C-alpha cells in the first residue's frame, strides 16, 4: 500500500513548555512530522536550512501584544515570505497586524490537535486558514488581492466545493452526495466559472480567500 508522505514542520515559540505542549499535541496526528523546535532566535534560521520544513507552527504566546512586538512581527514576516506559517494568538486583538505580516494561517492558542493538523496541511497546500471569528481578514486588503465571486454559489455547489477542499474525486463526491458523476462534473465546471478559477485547486484557494471555506 502506498504511503502518504509526511508533512514536515518546525514548532516556534519562545516558551519551552509551549513548544513541548504543541509537539505532544501533534504527536498523535498521522502524517505530521515535527522536525524540530526553536524559539525565534538565530538558531531558527539554522534549523530551517537543516530540515527544509513544509511549514512553521508559530506560537506567539499568551502575553503577545502587551510588549513592543515590532521586532517579532518583522521576524515573522521574514519567515512568512519564505514558507507557509500558521500563527497562534491568545486573542483576536492583534490578528490584523499578524495577518498583515503575511502568515498563511491564524488560529487561537486553544486549538485542538486535529484542527491544528488540518490547518497545517491546508497551508502547506497553498490555502489560507483563519478562525471563524476572524473571517473578515480573508477579504482584508492588508493581505493578498481577493478574487471576485462572479455569481453566488448554489447550496449544492457549496457542498461540492467543501468536498473538493477535502480532496475528493468526482466519483467520490458523487457517492457522497448520491448524485451522478456527470452532475458532479457540471457543478465543478460551474464552480470554476463562478470563481474564475483555472483548476480545482485554484477554485479551493480562491474560495478560501473569499471566506467561502473556513477550517
pTM as predicted: 0.62
Strands (DSSP E) found in the chain = 7-12, 32-38, 55-59, 85-89, 105-108, 129-130
Q: Is residue 113 located within the same domain as residue 19?
A: yes
Q: Is residue 195 located within the same domain as residue 120?
A: no
The C-alpha cell at 131 is 478562525
How many H-runs (helices) and E-runs (strands) does the chain carry?
A: 9, 6
The C-alpha cell at 41 is 532566535
Q: Is residue 67 located within the same domain as residue 173?
A: no
Full strand arrangement of the beta sheet holding 55-59: 32-38, 7-12, 55-59, 85-89, 105-108, 129-130
Q: Is residue 168 located within the same domain as residue 63?
A: no
Residue that is last in its domain, among 89, 113, 139: 139
Range of the domain at 76: 7-139
Structural domains counted in the chain: 2
CA atoms of 32 and 2, how far apart (whole Å): 16
Q: Is residue 88 located within the same domain as residue 176?
A: no
pLDDT surpasses 70 at 147: no
CATH label of the domain that carries residue 73: 3.40.50.2300
Residue that is last in its domain, among 139, 168, 183: 139
Residue 83 lies in a domain: yes
Q: Is residue 124 located within the same domain as residue 58?
A: yes
Q: Which residues of 30-39 are buried (b: 16+ CB within 10 A; e: fewer)?
A: eebebbbbbe
pLDDT in tens, 16-69: 999 999 999 998 888 899 999 999 888 999 999 999 999 999 998 876 654 445
CATH label of the domain that carries residue 190: 1.10.10.10
CA atoms of 164 and 136, how far apart (whole Å): 23
pLDDT in tens, 196-213: 887 777 787 778 767 776
Q: Is residue 20 located within the same domain as residue 92?
A: yes
CA atoms of 39 and 211, how far apart (whole Å): 32
CA atoms of 46 and 52, how far apart (whole Å): 10
Amino acid at each position: 500500500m502506498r504511503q502518504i508522505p509526511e508533512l514536515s514542520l518546525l514548532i516556534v515559540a519562545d516558551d519551552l513548555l509551549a513548544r513541548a505542549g504543541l509537539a505532544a499535541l501533534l504527536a498523535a496526528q498521522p502524517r505530521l512530522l515535527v522536525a524540530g523546535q526553536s524559539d525565534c532566535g538565530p538558531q531558527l534560521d539554522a534549523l530551517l536550512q537543516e530540515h527544509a520544513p513544509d511549514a512553521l507552527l508559530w506560537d506567539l504566546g499568551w502575553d503577545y501584544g502587551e510588549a513592543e512586538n515590532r521586532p517579532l512581527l518583522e521576524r515573522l514576516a521574514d519567515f512568512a515570505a519564505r514558507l507557509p506559517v500558521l500563527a497562534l494568538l491568545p486573542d483576536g486583538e492583534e490578528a490584523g497586524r499578524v495577518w498583515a505580516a503575511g502568515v498563511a494561517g491564524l488560529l487561537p492558542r486553544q486549538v485542538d490537535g486535529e484542527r491544528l493538523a488540518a490547518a497545517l496541511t491546508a497551508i502547506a497546500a497553498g490555502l489560507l486558514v483563519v478562525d471563524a471569528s476572524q473571517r473578515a481578514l480573508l477579504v482584508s486588503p492588508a493581505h493578498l488581492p481577493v478574487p471576485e465571486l462572479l455569481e453566488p454559489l448554489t447550496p449544492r455547489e457549496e457542498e461540492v466545493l467543501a468536498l473538493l477542499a477535502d480532496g475528493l474525486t468526482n466519483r467520490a463526491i458523487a457517492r457522497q452526495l448520491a448524485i451522478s458523476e456527470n452532475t458532479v462534473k457540471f457543478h465543478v465546471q460551474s464552480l470554476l466559472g463562478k470563481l474564475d478559477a483555472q483548476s480545482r485547486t485554484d477554485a479551493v484557494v480562491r474560495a478560501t480567500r473569499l471566506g467561502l471555506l473556513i477550517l
